Amino acid sequence: MHRVPSQREIERLAVLQDPTHFNAASGHRHRDKYSATRPELNAVEAPAQDPPPALDNDDPPLAAPRWVAGRVAPPAYPDGRHSHLRNTIQTYENNPELADDMLKMLNDFVSNITKYENPNTRAARERTLSVWALIVGFLSKNNDPERLWHYTVVEQHAPAFLTFRVLYTCGRQGKLIKADTLRTWFNLLSYCIAKYTVDDDRKPHGTTTLVKNGLYAKLDAVVTKLILDHKLDRFPGERVHFGRPELRLVTEYAMMNVRVRFVRIQSTVIFQTSFYTTVRPSTLGVGNKEMEDMERFMKIEYSNLRIFRQGYGKFSVKMRFTNHKGSNADVGKELEYFFQPVMNWFNVCFDLPTWLVTMLFLRGAFKYDTLEELHEGNEAELQFCDKVIGQPLFIRFEAGGRIASGALRPITAHAISAALADLCQGAGLPRAGLYAFRRDAGNDYGMKLNTEMASMMLGHKDSNNAIYRKHYSRNTANIPIVHLRLNEFITDKQTMAMASHAMHQFHSPAVMCLVARKALDENVTDDGEADAGVKPSALDKQSLTEEEKATAEAHPHVVQAKHDFDLAWQGLLALYPPEAQSYKDHLVVHRERFKKIKQHFSLVNGKTEADLEYAESCFSQTLKRYQLLAKKHRRAFADARNKTKNLQTTLRQSGKDTADARYEAIADLEKPSSMIDDLQQFAQQNDEAAYSSNVITADASASSSRIAMASERAFVSTVPLAIPSSASQVSPFSDNVTSNFPHDLSNEDDVEELTHHVNEQLDLGKLLHFPMNAGTSESIATRQAYQKQTVDLHFESLEQALPQDKAFDADENPQPTADTQDINVDELRIQLSVFLAAPVLRERSIVECWKRDKTCIQCKPFIHDPARVNRQFSNISKLNRHINEAHTLWYDLDLHMQIPNSKRLKCPSKNCHYKASTVNDVRKHCLSTACPDQDYFTELKEKHDMTPSRIQRRTVSRNYRAAHKSKKRTTDSDSENDTNQNYIPVRKSKKRATDTVAPPLELASPSILAQTLSAAAETTVPEDLVNVYHVLAMCDPQTLLDHARSNGHLLDTDEDELLVQLEMLITNIRALIRAGHIAPLPQPDTSS
C-alpha cells in the first residue's frame, strides 16, 4: 500500500507546478505577464518515470517526482488566457448536435488536406502526364494506363520520350524549341517519374529508378546531347526595355480612342504603376482562376490603398502590394509604395495619383458627384463609399468597354500584357508585355540606388538583412519612386543613369517608332496612297487578306467544324420549302438569315416544332463552335504574321532609317508630350464653353500624334451643344430660343413642357466645367458670372456666345498660345483629370437620356426642329449610329445658321454674310468659292463623310449592288409578267437629295399643289391625278419645295407650313399606293 503525501508535500507540488518554474533543459526561467519573481529551483531533468501514485492520507510523505517540474501544465486562469476556448468547448458540450457538425467538419478538412501547388506548375505537370501517355503509349505499343508508369517502361522509354518530343514540337517561327524549354521539360519529367513510377507490387519506385538505377544521369546526358546535336538556341530572346519615352507614346495612342476611354484610363494606371514600382502583372491582376477564388488580387480597401489630399486637385497615393510570385502560399510578402504628385508641368501626363483618382471617381468610389466637388474637398484623406470597398481595383470590362452590371471580377495578368501588346503595336512599338516596364525600372533603380534596393523592389528573395527588412525598415516606402523615375530628384548616381539612358536611346523602341512614323508620312502621296517602302502594316495590325484567311482556316479542326455546320444548316433548311434555300442569300449564313426564314416560311408537312427545336439547337451549337475555332486560328495566324515583322529591317530597306532621322526623333522625345498641347487646347475650349454647354468635345481628346487616326476620331463632334448647365439657365435659354425661331412655340404650356424636359437632362456643365483656380472668392464670382450667361444660337451673337467661334476663322491658329513659363502644374493636373473624364461622362449622359425617354441628348438644342428633338430610338445601337452620323461638325452647323426673328438662315462663318432659306442652300454655299472659309468647311465635310458607319454603309451598298445586279435585272423582268398588276413597289429608304427624281415644273405650281392637297384625303383618286401622285411618291419634300421656290411660286407662301403639309401628303400617297386605292401606272408596250 502506497504512502499518502503530507500537506507540506502537496504544497511543494503546487510550487513546482507554478508557471515560473525553472526550465532545466534550457537553463532559463519561464516568465510571462502572470509570473512573479521566485527563487531559482535547481531542478535536474530526469528520465520519465511511472505516473504518481494515488493520494492516501495514511501513507508517509514522499518526495515530489522530478518530472513534474517540466511536464505539468500550469493551471488554467479563470479570467485569463484560453477563456474563449473554454467557452467554445462548453458551448459544444451543451449542444451535442453542434458538436457533431463541428467534428464532421474537422474530419472532412483533415481528410482532404493536399500539398499546395502553384496552379500554373500543376497545369504544366498535368500536360507532361498527358504527353507521356500519348508518346509512350505509341512507343511501347501498350495503352494500358497501369503499365505506363511501371519502372521497366519508364527506364526504357524516358530517353526516347524526350527525343521524340523535341524533334516533333514546333517552336516559334517554325524553329525547334529553345534549350531552356527542354530543361524545363526534363525537370517536369523527373518530378513525374519520382512521384508516379511503381514496381510490380504497385509500390513507389521513382526515387530508386532515378538515383540507384541511374536514370536521372542518363536523362541529363540526353538533354545535353539534344542541345548540342540539334543546335538548340541556348540564349533567351531579345529583352525589350520600355522606359519613359515608350510609356509616353503608348499613353498618347491610348487616349486617341475616346470610345473606350474608361478602359484606356485603367490600362494607363496599370502601366504607370509597373513603370514606377516594377510589380509583375500577376500582382495587379490574377494569374489564374484559383487565385481569383482565393481573392489574391488588389482590392479597394484602406489596408491596400489610401489617397491623401495635398492641395486643390493635388493628391498622393499609398499602395500596398501583397500578392507576389512565390509568396502566395503560407508565407506572404508585402511591399509599400508612395506615389507623390509630379513637380514639373511637362511630367503631368505621368502623374499617377491624378489618373488613379479620376479612374476611381468614374467608378463611383467617392461621395462626390462632380469633379469640381472632388477637387475642392478639404478632408485630409479621401474616403471610399461602402459599395466599392472590397471590389477589385482593376476590373474586367464587358464588350464595348462597359462595366459589368453584376459582381465585378478582377482583370487577369494575361489581359494586362495583351492590352499593352496591342497598344504598343498600334502606336508603332514592338509588341511587349508588362515585363518591359519592369525590366527598365529595375535597371534604372539599380543604377540610381544600388542593386540591393533594386532587388528588393523587384521582389526577389534575399537573405541579407532579412530581419532588419522584415521588422524595422520601411523598405520600398522610403523611396520617392515618382521623382526618381522622372529625374526630378538628382542623386549621386544620377549622372551614370542618365548617361546610360542616352547611350541606349539611339536604338530604343521609341526612337525607331518615331522614325517609322516620319517615313510613313513621307511615303504617302497626295492622293492618299502609300508608295513602296515603309508600309502602314509596319506600324499597326492589318486585317487578313482572303488568301490569309483561307490559309488560317485550312486547319483540320476548322475544316471539320465547317463541315458539321454545313450539315446542320442543310438539315435546318430541309424543314422548310425549297424556296427557303435561296431566300435572303445575300446575308451571311448565320442567325439573322435563319430568323428571316423562320419569319416568312412555314414548316413543310410532317415536320413539327420539336424537329425545328432540335435542328435549331444543332445549328446554334455547330455555328458557335465553327466561329470560335475560325476566330482562334485567324488570330493565331495574324499574331504569328505580326510577330515576324521586323520594323528595323523594313526601315533599313526603305532607306529612311538615317542617323539624322534618329537624332530628330530623339529631339522630339525630349519635347513635352503632345498631350500637354491637347490639355491646353481642351482647357481653352473649356473656359470658353463653361456653363453654356453640357456636352464635352470628345475630339479635343484626339492626340496630335503623327499617326493619322481619322477612322477613330471622325465620328466625334467637336461642337459643344448649347444645352443649359443649370436650372437657372433653362428659362432664359428657352425664351431666347423660342423667340428667335420661325416655328410656333408661343404657347405657354409648350414652353413650360420644353423647359421641364430640358431641365431633366444631365448637368454635365457642373460635372466638368469650372475655373481652374476654384476655391477663391474671385473664382466663385467668375463662376457665378458664367452661370448667368445664356446661349444665342443666331449668328449676330455668334462671336460672343459660341465657344467655337475661333474654329470658323480659318486664319486663326487654334493651337495653344500659353507661354510655357506661365504653365501652372497644379492647374494642368486638374485639366488632365477633366480631360480624361469628359468622354466617359458624355457617354453616360447620352445613355442616361436614352434610358429616360429614348431620345438623343445632343438633339435637345435643335428646338427649331421638333421632329429631331422628339425622335426616339428603339435601341442604343441606333442611337450611337445616329450620333456618329448626325452630330458631326458638318451637321451641327445647323445650330449656327439661325438668325433671330427671321425665317432665313445665314452662313456660319463670321467673315461671310450670305443668307438663304434652307439649310441645304447654306451648306452648298459653304462648299462653294463664294464662301471665304470654303477650305475649312470642305474639311468638315470630308471628315463627316469619313465616319466609319457612313464608309461601311457605302461599302456594303456598293458590294450588295454589284453582287446582285444580275439578279435584280432578272427580278425586274419577271415582275412585268406578275399576275398581281396592282402591286406597286414602295421605296423603303429615303433617297438623298441628289438622287431624288426631279418633278416637272408645272407640278410645283400653286394650283397643282392646292389641287393635290385637297385630293389627298379622298378615298377615290381622280384619274387625272394618278401620274401626279406617282411622281410625288418618288419625290423628296424639301427638293420639291426648292423647285417651287426656284420658279418663283412661293413668294407669299409660308414655306415651313407648306413643307409640313408636303411631308404629310407624300406619306399619305405612299400609303394609298400600297393599299391599292391609287391605280398603277400603265405598263409600257414591250411587244415591239
Evaluate the CA torsion angle 674, 679, 682, 688 in order and state its sign: negative
For residues 255 and 253, what is the distance between their CA atoms, to the nearest angstrom? 5
* pLDDT level of residue 1083 (50, 70, 90 thresholds): low
Which residues have CB under 8 Å from 1041's CB, separation 6+?
918, 1050, 1055, 1058, 1059, 1062
Asked if residue 509 has pLDDT above 80, the reply is yes
The secondary element (H helix, E strand) that includes residue 275 is: helix 261-277
* pLDDT level of residue 222 (50, 70, 90 thresholds): very high
Which residues have CB under 8 Å from 641's CB, separation 6+?
548
- The residue-averaged pLDDT of 825-831 equals 89
The pLDDT value recorded for residue 885 is 81
- The residue-averaged pLDDT of 674-697 equals 57
Which residue in 689, 708, 946, 930 sits closest to 807, CA to CA? 689
The pLDDT value recorded for residue 551 is 86
Q: What is the pLDDT of residues 123-156, one digit of tens each?
A: 899 999 999 999 998 888 877 777 889 999 999 9
Q: DSSP string spanning 1004-1049?
A: GSHHHHHHHHHHTT-SSPPGGGHHHHHHHHTS-HHHHHHHHHHTT-
Which residue in 255, 280, 278 sits closest to 266, CA to CA? 255
The pLDDT value recorded for residue 836 is 92
* pLDDT level of residue 524 (50, 70, 90 thresholds): low
Q: Are 278 and 292 in contact (CB under 8 A)?
A: no
The pLDDT value recorded for residue 349 is 92
Burial call 442-472: b when 16+ CB within 10 Å, e when fewer: bbbbbbbbeeebbbbbbbeeeeeeeeeeeee
Asked if residue 758 has pLDDT above 70, the reply is no
Three-state secondary structure call for residue 307: strand
Q: What is the pLDDT of residues 762-775, one digit of tens each?
A: 233 333 322 333 33
- The residue-averaged pLDDT of 808-834 equals 62
* pLDDT level of residue 437 (50, 70, 90 thresholds): very high
The secondary element (H helix, E strand) that includes residue 318 is: strand 314-321
Pick the CATH number of 244-507 from 1.10.3720.10, 3.40.50.300, 1.10.443.10, 3.40.50.2300: 1.10.443.10
Least confident of 87-91, 180-184, 450-454, 662-666: 450-454
Q: What is the pLDDT of residues 60-71, one digit of tens each?
A: 555 555 554 455
The pLDDT value recorded for residue 325 is 82
- The residue-averaged pLDDT of 992-1001 equals 38
The pLDDT value recorded for residue 18 is 55
Q: What is the pLDDT of residues 894-904, one digit of tens each?
A: 888 888 888 88
- The residue-averaged pLDDT of 523-529 equals 49
Asked if residue 1065 has pLDDT above 50, the reply is yes
Q: Are 119 and 287 in contact (CB under 8 A)?
A: yes
Asked if residue 1051 has pLDDT above 60, the reply is no
* pLDDT level of residue 992 (50, 70, 90 thresholds): very low
The secondary element (H helix, E strand) that includes residue 309 is: strand 305-311
The pLDDT value recorded for residue 79 is 58
- For residue 85, the Cα-to-chain-centroid distance in whole angstroms is 50
The pTM of this model reads 0.63
The pLDDT value recorded for residue 238 is 79
The pLDDT value recorded for residue 44 is 41
Q: What is the pLDDT of residues 602-631, one digit of tens each?
A: 888 888 888 888 888 888 888 888 988 888
Asked if residue 82 has pLDDT above 80, the reply is no
Grid coordinates standing for 441? 525600372
Kindly report the average pLDDT of the chain as a whole number: 72
* pLDDT level of residue 191 (50, 70, 90 thresholds): very high
Asked if residue 374 has pLDDT above 80, the reply is yes
- The residue-averaged pLDDT of 97-116 equals 82
Highest mean pLDDT among 680-684, 784-788, 859-863, 975-979: 859-863
Asked if residue 46 has pLDDT above 50, the reply is no
Q: What is the pLDDT of residues 929-969, one digit of tens each?
A: 889 888 888 888 888 877 665 555 555 455 545 555 544 44
More confident position, 371 or 531: 371
Percent of the chain with pLDDT over 70: 64
